């Protein structure tokens, strides 16, 4: 019978006892169940078993019959042999391309799988990533945010004991930052190195939280019933008369441990689960005792008692605030868990300085000179007077605000500067210098001459109507004198008032009225038939036609000069 490899089984040369270094070890073919030693080699089901070769050797598989396998097991008495070198060389040449191809395929498969893995977890949490013990592997950032927000919203703190309530994390001032938590869970996915490292180094992410202690304290106090008084600190307040400071007494209170609730909320947020806590009422002493507050009140009253004086430069005027004013300068600021602190109210101090300093300010008076058409000064109507102004009010206020809280007293000086007066020149009409009013060229004005009992209308120095005889005020009700201006006009009006003897009068339908000062006016007097004497209540009674002319001619603002 021929061998599968082309040689007769019985004609192979015996194997050399010393195989060359590059020769292969052989393999045994062991019959499987159902085959016997007597079975024909072609019919037997065989199992290929490699014979272990030294590490430096190359292993080659050779097929043998069951008889040959038994001979090999018996020491080789029946084993056939052949020239290994002659057979191995062509076999090796046939085998290496397949090995290379297999290697390339293996590299491709591994590389492709690695690339697919890396790409898959670019936008997803890497394997083994957990948030608060929950596996988020393969989840996107948005999915992790949603998960954390949902779980946080469901997390509560159940409060039992002296108070009973169910508080959300927000009630106790604890906030879960789902965005930052998701960022931490996705950190490894941000780099190729991180994605592959995650295969062996799993990530456990803590929930990112923050806590507002004040909110937890407020919630804890809200659970205390109204019939149980909250602790109240002693405080420092202004007395009823506003000149000193007194205290309000401290009061012990009942409270709940806000810190325990706060810690329970933190734990619930970290685990994204609900927690339970039992609380008890406790008597809470105030953080600020009566003794603490009294020390502050005494210090405040010392500030009020100090001397503060500001004077002008020559010392002729001094300004000293009273007790109530100084008390208004003291600020009392409450502190969390500590006695209040004192300071100075710069705004109040600045107001006082400005008020007192303003009394030294003198506005400059603008001088008025009438000049003729040649520019010569005809008359000085108003003398120019320089003014003064305090120049350092801001500096005084700042220095006093800094010194006042020290309680050592303070003095300062207002410094003034001169405000130069200006002159205003008024060109008058030629010839007006000799009239009762030096009007500008064309300027309307009315001259009331009480000596001649006449009224004259002028435009500059030119008479446009008059003189018109009038009835002026009687001796008991004289017409006012001075320079005035028309300010109100009526075509007709009912006039009423009191006579010199105290009796009332009322006159209806008085026509063409031009008021120039309070109740004094030019108006028509249809009840009179003669003029040129004194006998009115103070107004200038005129013939109706003349009164209408003046009413039509004058304007609100027209100058009226009344004189003897």
The torsion angles phi and psi of 89, rounded to 5 degrees, stand at: -60, -55
Strand partners, 497: 505
Would you state the pLDDT for residue 15? 39
Task: Give dist(CA 116, CA 118) in Å, integer.
Answer: 6
The torsion angles phi and psi of 22, rounded to 5 degrees, stand at: -95, 10
Task: Give dist(CA 134, CA 183) in Å, integer.
Answer: 16
Clarify whether residues 453 and 546 are in a common domain: yes
Tokens 């670019």 — which residue? 122
Clarify whether residues 412 and 313 are in a common domain: yes
Clarify whether residues 453 and 367 are in a common domain: no
| 86 pLDDT higher than 50 | no
Task: Give dist(CA 257, CA 255) in Å, integer.
Answer: 7
The answer to whether 388 and 416 have CB atoms below 8 angstroms apart is: yes
Clarify whether residues 473 and 514 are in a common domain: yes
Tokens 């799988």 — which residue? 113
More confident residue, 15 or 320: 320
Residue 356, domain member (yes or no)? yes
Residue 117: pLDDT band by 50, 70, 90 thresholds? confident
Clarify whether residues 374 and 396 are in a common domain: yes
Residue 416: pLDDT band by 50, 70, 90 thresholds? very high
| Catalytic-role residue among 78, 202, 485, 539 | 539
The answer to whether 23 and 92 have CB atoms below 8 angstroms apart is: no
Clarify whether residues 364 and 474 are in a common domain: no
Residue 400, domain member (yes or no)? yes
Clarify whether residues 380 and 473 are in a common domain: no
How many percent of the chain have pLDDT more than 90?
A: 67
Residue 16, domain member (yes or no)? no
Residue 110: pLDDT band by 50, 70, 90 thresholds? low
The DSSP code for 2 is: B
| Structural domain harbouring 351 | 306-424
Clarify whether residues 450 and 558 are in a common domain: yes
Task: Give dist(CA 103, CA 499) in Å, integer.
Answer: 135
Would you state the pLDDT for residue 232? 87
Two structure tokens written together for 325:
């004013």
Task: Give dist(CA 327, CA 340) in Å, integer.
Answer: 16
Buried b (16+ CB within 10 A) or exposed e, 238-263: beeeebbbebeebeebbbbebebbbb
Task: Give dist(CA 556, CA 541) in Å, integer.
Answer: 19
| 29 pLDDT higher than 80 | no
Would you state the pLDDT for residue 5? 35
Would you state the pLDDT for residue 108? 53
Residue 57: pLDDT band by 50, 70, 90 thresholds? very low
Would you state the pLDDT for residue 39? 35
| 531 pLDDT higher than 80 | yes
Residue 444, domain member (yes or no)? yes
Max distance between CA atoms of the chain, in angstroms, equals: 181
Strands 275-279 and 156-161: parallel
Would you state the pLDDT for residue 104? 58
Interval 556-563 mean pLDDT: 98
Residue 479, domain member (yes or no)? yes
Would you state the pLDDT for residue 98? 54
Task: Give dist(CA 268, CA 156) in Å, integer.
Answer: 7
Two structure tokens written together for 514:
């031009």
Among 424, 450, 481, residue at a domain's last position: 424
Cα 304 to chain centroid distance, Å, stands at: 36
Clarify whether residues 512 and 558 are in a common domain: yes
Interval 536-544 mean pLDDT: 97
Would you state the pLDDT for residue 80? 42
CA angle (266 as vertex; 264, 268 as ends), nearest 5 = 70
Among 424, 447, 466, residue at a domain's last position: 424
More confident residue, 276 or 257: 276
Clarify whether residues 413 and 336 are in a common domain: yes
Clarify whether residues 473 and 413 are in a common domain: no
Residue 5, domain member (yes or no)? no
| Catalytic-role residue among 120, 202, 485, 523 | 523
pLDDT digits (tens, 9 = 90+) for 483-503: 999 999 999 999 999 998 889
| 46 pLDDT higher than 80 | no
How many percent of the chain have pLDDT more than 70?
A: 80
- What radius of gyration, in Å, describes the C-alpha atoms of the chain? 59
Residue 106: pLDDT band by 50, 70, 90 thresholds? low
| 379 pLDDT higher than 80 | yes
Would you state the pLDDT for residue 190? 82
Residue 552, domain member (yes or no)? yes
| 473 pLDDT higher than 90 | yes
Q: Torsion angle of alpha carbons 552, 556, 558, 560, nearest 10°? A: 90
- Is residue 539 part of the annotated active site? The answer reads yes
pLDDT digits (tens, 9 = 90+) for 330-351: 999 999 889 999 999 999 999 9
| 81 pLDDT higher than 80 | no
The DSSP code for 208 is: P
Residue 522, domain member (yes or no)? yes
Residues with Cβ within 8 Å of 54's Cβ and at least 6 positions away in sequence, in order, are none
Interval 431-443 mean pLDDT: 95
CA-closest candidate to residue 272, choices 127, 130, 143: 130
What 3-state class would DSSP assign to 298?
A: helix
Would you state the pLDDT for residue 112? 62
Task: Give dist(CA 128, CA 159) in Å, integer.
Answer: 35
The answer to whether 15 and 25 have CB atoms below 8 angstroms apart is: no
Residue 552: pLDDT band by 50, 70, 90 thresholds? very high
Residue 513: pLDDT band by 50, 70, 90 thresholds? very high
Residue by residue, what is the 3-state secondary structure of 117-149? HHHHCCCCCCCCCEECCEECCCCCHHHHHHHHH
pLDDT digits (tens, 9 = 90+) for 202-245: 889 999 999 999 999 899 888 888 877 777 899 999 999 999 99
More confident residue, 412 or 186: 412
Among 367, 396, 424, residue at a domain's last position: 424
The answer to whether 349 and 401 have CB atoms below 8 angstroms apart is: yes
Distances (CA, A) of 425 to 214, 375, 384, 482: 72, 9, 11, 22
Residues with Cβ within 8 Å of 307's Cβ and at least 6 positions away in sequence, in order, are 320, 409, 410, 411
More confident residue, 101 or 229: 229
Quote the number of domains for the chain: 2
**Which CATH number is 479's domain given?**
2.40.440.10
**Which CATH number is 389's domain given?**
3.10.20
pLDDT digits (tens, 9 = 90+) for 122-158: 889 899 899 999 999 989 999 999 999 999 999 999 9
Residue 30: pLDDT band by 50, 70, 90 thresholds? very low
Interval 94-118 mean pLDDT: 60
pLDDT digits (tens, 9 = 90+) for 191-213: 888 788 878 888 899 999 999 99
With residue 174 as reference, give the H or E element that holds it: strand 174-176
Clarify whether residues 379 and 467 are in a common domain: no
Query: Whole-angstrom distance between the N-terminal and C-terminal Cα of the chain?
Result: 171
More confident residue, 228 or 354: 354
Task: Give dist(CA 527, CA 506) in Å, integer.
Answer: 13
Strand partners, 387: 419
- Is residue 523 part of the annotated active site? The answer reads yes
Residue 311: pLDDT band by 50, 70, 90 thresholds? very high
Q: Is the whole-model pTM more than 0.85?
A: no
467, with CB counted inside 10 A (0-12, 13-18, 19+), is: middle
Task: Give dist(CA 380, CA 17) in Å, integer.
Answer: 151
């Amino acid at each position: 019978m021929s061998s599968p490899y082309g040689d007769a089984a019985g004609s192979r040369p015996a194997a050399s006892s010393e195989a060359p270094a590059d020769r292969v070890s052989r393999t045994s073919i062991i019959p499987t169940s159902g085959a016997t030693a007597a079975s024909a080699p072609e019919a037997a089901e065989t199992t290929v078993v490699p014979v272990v070769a030294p590490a430096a050797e190359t292993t080659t598989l050779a097929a043998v019959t069951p008889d040959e396998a038994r001979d090999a097991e018996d020491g080789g008495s029946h084993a056939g042999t052949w020239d290994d070198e002659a057979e191995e060389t062509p076999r090796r040449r046939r085998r290496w391309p397949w090995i290379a191809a297999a290697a390339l395929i293996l590299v491709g498969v591994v590389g492709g799988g690695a690339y697919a893995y890396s790409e898959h977890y670019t936008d997803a949490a890497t394997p083994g990533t957990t948030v608060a013990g929950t596996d988020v592997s393969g989840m996107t950032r948005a999915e992790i945010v949603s998960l954390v927000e949902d779980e946080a919203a469901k997390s509560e703190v159940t409060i039992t004991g002296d108070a009973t309530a169910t508080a959300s994390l927000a009630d106790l001032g604890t906030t879960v930052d789902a965005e930052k938590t998701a960022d931490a869970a996705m950190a490894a996915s941000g780099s190729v190195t991180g994605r592959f490292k995650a295969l062996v180094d799993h990530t456990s992410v803590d929930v990112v939280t923050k806590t507002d202690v004040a909110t937890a304290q407020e919630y804890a106090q809200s659970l205390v019933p109204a019939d149980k008084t909250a602790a109240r600190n002693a405080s420092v307040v202004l007395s009823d008369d506003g000149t000193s400071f007194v205290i309000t007494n401290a009061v012990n209170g009942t409270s709940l441990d806000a810190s325990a609730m706060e810690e329970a909320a933190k734990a619930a947020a970290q685990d994204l689960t609900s927690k339970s806590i039992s609380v008890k009422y406790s008597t809470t002493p105030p953080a600020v005792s009566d003794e603490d507050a009294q020390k502050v009140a005494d210090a405040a009253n010392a500030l009020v008692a100090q001397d503060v004086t500001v004077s002008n430069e020559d010392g002729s005027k001094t300004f000293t605030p009273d007790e109530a004013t100084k008390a208004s300068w003291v600020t009392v600021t409450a502190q969390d868990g500590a006695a209040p602190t004192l300071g100075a109210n710069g705004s109040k101090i600045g107001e006082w300085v400005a008020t007192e300093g303003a009394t030294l300010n003198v506005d400059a008076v603008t001088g008025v000179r009438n000049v003729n058409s040649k520019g010569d000064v005809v008359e000085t109507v108003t003398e120019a007077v320089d003014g003064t102004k305090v120049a350092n009010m801001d500096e005084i206020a700042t220095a006093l605000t800094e010194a006042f809280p020290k309680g050592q007293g303070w003095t300062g000086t207002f410094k003034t500067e001169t405000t130069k007066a200006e002159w205003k020149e008024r060109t008058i009409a030629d010839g007006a210098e000799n009239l009762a009013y030096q009007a500008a060229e064309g300027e309307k004005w009315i001259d009331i001459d009480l000596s001649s009992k006449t009224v004259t209308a002028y435009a500059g120095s030119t008479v446009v109507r008059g003189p018109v005889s009038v009835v002026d005020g009687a001796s008991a009700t004289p017409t006012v004198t001075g320079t005035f201006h028309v300010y109100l006009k009526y075509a007709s009006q009912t006039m009423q008032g009191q006579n010199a003897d105290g009796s009332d009068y009322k006159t209806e339908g008085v026509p063409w009225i031009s008021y120039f000062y309070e109740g004094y006016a030019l108006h028509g007097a249809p009840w009179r038939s003669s003029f040129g004497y004194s006998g009115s209540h103070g107004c200038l009674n005129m013939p109706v036609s003349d009164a209408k002319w003046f009413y039509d001619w004058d304007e609100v603002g027209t100058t009226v000069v009344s004189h003897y």
